[in-house]
Amino acid sequence: MPAKGNLLIGQSGGPTVVINQSLVGAILQAKKAKEIGAIYGALHGMKGILEENFIDLRKESASELERIAMTPASALGSARKKPTDEECARVFDVLKKYNIRYFFYIGGNDSAESTHIINEKAKSVGYELRCFHIPKTIDNDLRENDHTPGFGSAARFVACAIMGDNLDCRALPGVKINVIMGRHAGFLTAAAALARVYPDDGPHLIYLPERPFSMEKFAADVKAVHKRLGRCVVAVSEGIADENGVAIATKFSKEVDSHGNVQLSGTGALGDLLATEIKKRTTISRVRADTFGYLQRSFAGLVSAVDAREARTVGMLAVKEAVKGKEPSGSIAIRRKKGARYAVSYKRVPLASVARETLHMPDEFIAGTNNDVTGAFLRYARPLAGKLPVIGRFKAVKVARK
Amino acid sequence: MPAKGNLLIGQSGGPTVVINQSLVGAILQAKKAKEIGAIYGALHGMKGILEENFIDLRKESASELERIAMTPASALGSARKKPTDEECARVFDVLKKYNIRYFFYIGGNDSAESTHIINEKAKSVGYELRCFHIPKTIDNDLRENDHTPGFGSAARFVACAIMGDNLDCRALPGVKINVIMGRHAGFLTAAAALARVYPDDGPHLIYLPERPFSMEKFAADVKAVHKRLGRCVVAVSEGIADENGVAIATKFSKEVDSHGNVQLSGTGALGDLLATEIKKRTTISRVRADTFGYLQRSFAGLVSAVDAREARTVGMLAVKEAVKGKEPSGSIAIRRKKGARYAVSYKRVPLASVARETLHMPDEFIAGTNNDVTGAFLRYARPLAGKLPVIGRFKAVKVARK
């Protein structure tokens, strides 16, 4: 029997458009559990815990909770703060003071690590705590998971953006470079490939952080596509790095957060650099670059239905496991069932197995040319992004010249 | 009675997500007219006419035409080419050779001018031609029109983007600068204001090309908002210029752009410049910039229903007027009916009155502070973008600190 006590939940890291589905799923499930007293939300993640900045989630109406579930970006506020050992000790003072016996943290691998540290601390001081991480990241790079809540909707955004951009570049031909989020994992950049409908559709080239990026090879690739089709749409990850692992964008930004991550998003520097290099190295006159930026993770109203449903489910299941499960801690992982039809199962996994390290695109998803994805990736990603917009094209029967 | 003969239609300028609605509206209407023989599409606008690069639009199925109507970006291909006098002469050789008696050109004010030049040439040589311009531009800057097809959907994109961005910046506070298309007219940047749901929602500051931009004032504005709310979301037009009309992107380019890149769209330079200036002039640590770029005009699947319907209608009406109307040439303008409920009427107007000059945001749409829009603008723009996504927010009843 788990201890009776209060619940605290927080959100961490970069927002997604379905992160509040997980939050609301957890709140609604908690409301059903008689073991749970107060349901507190920590404002801005760890920061809110350290400052005892909580709100009473039992005071929220069911209808407002459903509106919040559909609302992009962490409704409790987020933080990129990773607690130090000293801060972890302080977290316990707070958890004890408020009789928190159920702790949930929604986030990526950094958040899983924070949750793990807190859980280990709880164990070491014999404080009875049910402690669960709820997965979230548009990067899709959490271990143990087939994919992560947030990725499907971000992939949908990228696919719709590239679909339109491919048509734009077909209407006004040139070279178009699109910089897509993904520091170390190329899944989101790879999702650009979902935009293809006709054989000559872009993205014609896809560069992932999993493969070393060479400016010479890039320019040669672009030149070859442009020669063949008269245009070239490129999808490139913000995290591309050279053969020594040095990020191509590093020279342009030195800002780091408390996890030691360099700022890659929120600047157009990488796209502009790549466009300039293509102009320098080719004779192509129309070269443009767009950096999709924060729109990928927060655009209102663009959600993959599958993603929303799964995000809700992992939130619900985390609370269910915490209350009724055999293990007092863990993370809820999404596994894909074998078979032609898309279906998933959910599994509690140890916190340590999700924390810290991240997943990368497996080799079978990356084409041998290192500038594209494989059919296996498309089969993997298609059900996650959901049905994409219909695209038409003229049969274009030429009129004989007179 | 108009002459019997063939029809030629082309698309010009920057694409929109509803430009093919106008094209398909015109094709379907033309199919009904017994006065019209062949229905030709010119590939890539003027370029296609000069090169006699036509496709037979009677060969396209009704179902494919409907798919094309829903597809972003000029399905016939576009061009930015403005014909010289010599080229205009050549256009007539082509029109005569193919017995073109109905000519339609979908585009903005430059396209209206091209259509006007062609029409004047036709009149001067006594060639019987029915010659219509069909309006299109996300910039919303065509004279004679209450608004233009393409604007509503682009405004919807900007509103949804800023809605999400505002929430993202609420979750992870800082300063967020968003650069929006619109070289001379601020309508699309102003549409960012549609994103506001709660009183403290962004965009908190809006800078339009219609008002001189001062870096000092900008920094002071941002500082004040950030002090008040702890965050600041900015919407700024790519076309902002100083009191002498010098574009900010050009003026400060050497400070941020080491690659010698000064174009407005397809580069993140202006956003990066503004972010750098805020970092330099304030003590705010988290400052980010996104440039929405081409996504604003081509994003697949994001369409304002009103915009799509009106774009279809202007295409249909242009052909109807050409066949049955009293005047052999003109442009179809959208007028708004007076009254509380949104409704429009359509009017044939002379080509010359749409050509060349563009509209700007009227003074009544711009707040006296020069960094916001007015309620009048919101009432004007809201029906054009359509119903926006539902946004929820916690009542956030604070838990008493223990």
Catalytic residue, from B56, B93, B110, B139: name it: B139
CA distance B387 to chain A (A): 11
Catalytic residue, from A110, A139, A201, A221: name it: A139
- Residue by residue, DSSP assigns A107-120 as ESHHHHHHHHHHHH
Chain B residues with CB-CB distance to A38 below 8 A: 399
Write the CATH number of the domain with boundaries B5-149+301-353.
Answer: 3.40.50.450
Chain A residues with CB-CB distance to B67 below 8 A: 390-392
- Residue by residue, DSSP assigns B344-393 as EEEEEE-GGGTSS-B----GGGB-TTSSSB-HHHHHHHHHHH-SPPP---
- Verify whether residue B139 is a known catalytic residue: yes
Residues 317-376 of A with CB under 8 A from B: none
Residue pair B234/B175 in contact by the 8 Å Cβ criterion: yes
Residues 22-81 of A with CB under 8 A from B: 38, 40-41, 43-44, 52-57, 59-61, 64-80
Task: Pick the residue of B11, B28, B97, B168 with the most A CBs within 10 A to test the interface with A by mutation.
Answer: B168
Tell me whether residues A267 and B288 touch, CB distance under 8 A: yes
User: In the predicted model, is pLDDT for residue B197 greater than 90?
Assistant: yes
Q: What is the pLDDT of residue B254?
A: 44
CA distance A359 to chain B (A): 25
Chain B residues with CB-CB distance to A164 below 8 A: 17, 72-73, 294-295, 298-300
Residue pair B142/B135 in contact by the 8 Å Cβ criterion: yes
Complex prediction ipTM: 0.96
User: In the predicted model, is pLDDT for residue B350 greater than 80?
Assistant: yes
User: In the predicted model, is pLDDT for residue B173 greater than 80?
Assistant: yes
Q: What is the mean pLDDT of chain B?
A: 94
Q: How far is CA A277 from the centre of its chain?
A: 29
User: In the predicted model, is pLDDT for residue B255 greater than 50?
Assistant: no
- Mean pLDDT across the stretch A34-44? 98
pLDDT-derived band at B258 (thresholds 50, 70, 90) equals very low
- Mean pLDDT across the stretch B240-260? 70
pLDDT-derived band at A267 (thresholds 50, 70, 90) equals confident
pTM for the full predicted model: 0.96
Nearest to B392 among A67, A163, A269 (CB): A67
Tell me whether residues A401 and B73 touch, CB distance under 8 A: no
CA distance B169 to chain A (A): 9
**CATH architecture assigned to A5-149+302-353:** 3-Layer(aba) Sandwich (3.40)
Q: What is the pLDDT of residue B257?
A: 35
Q: What is the pLDDT of residue B225?
A: 98
Tell me whether residues B266 and A275 touch, CB distance under 8 A: yes
What angle is formed at CA A383 by the lines to CA A377 and CA A387, rounded to 5 degrees? 120
Class of domain B152-299+362-385: alpha beta
pLDDT, tens digit, 9 for 90 and up, residues B199-238: 999 999 999 999 999 999 999 999 999 999 999 999 999 9
pLDDT-derived band at A275 (thresholds 50, 70, 90) equals very high
Here the tokens at position B274 are 């503004």
- Mean pLDDT across the stretch A70-80? 96
Instruction: Give the residue on A whose Cα is nearest the Cα of B58.
Output: A397
Residues 6 or more apart in contact with residue B310 via CB below 8 angstroms? B149, B152, B334, B344
Residues 6 or more apart in contact with residue B368 via CB below 8 angstroms? none
pLDDT-derived band at A84 (thresholds 50, 70, 90) equals confident
Instruction: Give the residue on B whose Cα is nearest the Cα of A96.
Output: B402
Chain A touched by B271 (CB under 8 Å): yes
Q: What is the pLDDT of residue A85?
A: 75
- Mean pLDDT across the stretch A2-17? 93
Q: Any idea where the domains of chain B sit in the sequence?
A: 5-149+301-353, 152-299+362-385
Chain A residues with CB-CB distance to B61 below 8 A: 395
Lowest mean pLDDT among A213-222, B2-11, B56-65, B158-167: B2-11
Query: Topology of A154-301+360-385 in CATH?
Result: Rossmann fold (3.40.50)
Instruction: Give the residue on B whose Cα is nearest the Cα of A293.
Output: B290
Tell me whether residues A395 and B60 touch, CB distance under 8 A: yes
Tell me whether residues B394 and A172 touch, CB distance under 8 A: no
Question: Which residue, among A32, A28, A27, has the nearest Cα to A8 in the 3D structure?
Answer: A27
pLDDT-derived band at B249 (thresholds 50, 70, 90) equals confident
User: In the predicted model, is pLDDT for residue B61 greater than 90?
Assistant: yes
Residues 171-190 of B with CB under 8 A from A: 171-172, 176
pLDDT-derived band at B260 (thresholds 50, 70, 90) equals very low
What is the spatial distance between Cα B356 and Cα B97, in angstroms, rounded to a whole number?
Answer: 29
Q: What is the pLDDT of residue B1?
A: 59
Tell me whether residues B298 and A388 touch, CB distance under 8 A: no
- Mean pLDDT across the stretch B188-193? 98
Chain B touched by A288 (CB under 8 Å): yes
User: In the predicted model, is pLDDT for residue A147 greater than 90?
Assistant: yes
Residues 3-22 of B with CB under 8 A from A: 11, 14-15, 17, 20
Chain A residues with CB-CB distance to B44 below 8 A: 171
The type of residue at B35 is: E
What is the spatial distance between Cα B318 and Cα B94, in angstroms, rounded to a whole number?
Answer: 22
Residues 81-140 of A with CB under 8 A from B: 97-98
Question: Which residue, among A165, A106, A190, A226, has the nearest Cα to A370 in the 3D structure?
Answer: A190
Task: Pick the residue of A394, A395, A401 with the most B CBs within 10 A to test the interface with B by mutation.
Answer: A394
What is the spatial distance between Cα B16 and Cα A288, in angstroms, rounded to a whole number?
Answer: 17
What is the spatial distance between Cα A40 and Cα A56, in angstroms, rounded to a whole number?
Answer: 5
Q: What is the pLDDT of residue A353?
A: 96
Nearest to A56 among B71, B290, B397 (CB): B397
CB pairs under 8 A between A and B: 284
Chain B residues with CB-CB distance to A195 below 8 A: 300
Q: What is the pLDDT of residue B2?
A: 65
Tell me whether residues B266 and A290 touch, CB distance under 8 A: yes
Q: What is the pLDDT of residue B81?
A: 76
Provide the percentage of residues in chain A whose pLDDT is more than 70: 96
Q: What is the pLDDT of residue B88?
A: 80
Tell me whether residues A276 and B259 touch, CB distance under 8 A: yes
Residue pair B139/B182 in contact by the 8 Å Cβ criterion: yes
- Mean pLDDT across the stretch A87-99? 90
- Mean pLDDT across the stretch B181-209? 97
- Residue by residue, DSSP assigns A218-258 as HHHHHHHHHHHHS-EEEEEETT-B-TTS-BTTGGG---B-T
Chain B touched by A383 (CB under 8 Å): no
Task: Pick the residue of B53, B76, B299, B302 with the most A CBs within 10 A to test the interface with A by mutation.
Answer: B299
Tell me whether residues B394 and A69 touch, CB distance under 8 A: no
- Mean pLDDT across the stretch B173-198? 96
Q: What is the mean pLDDT of chain A?
A: 94
CA distance A11 to chain B (A): 9
- Residue by residue, DSSP assigns B24-39 as HHHHHHHHH-TTEEEE
CA distance A153 to chain B (A): 13
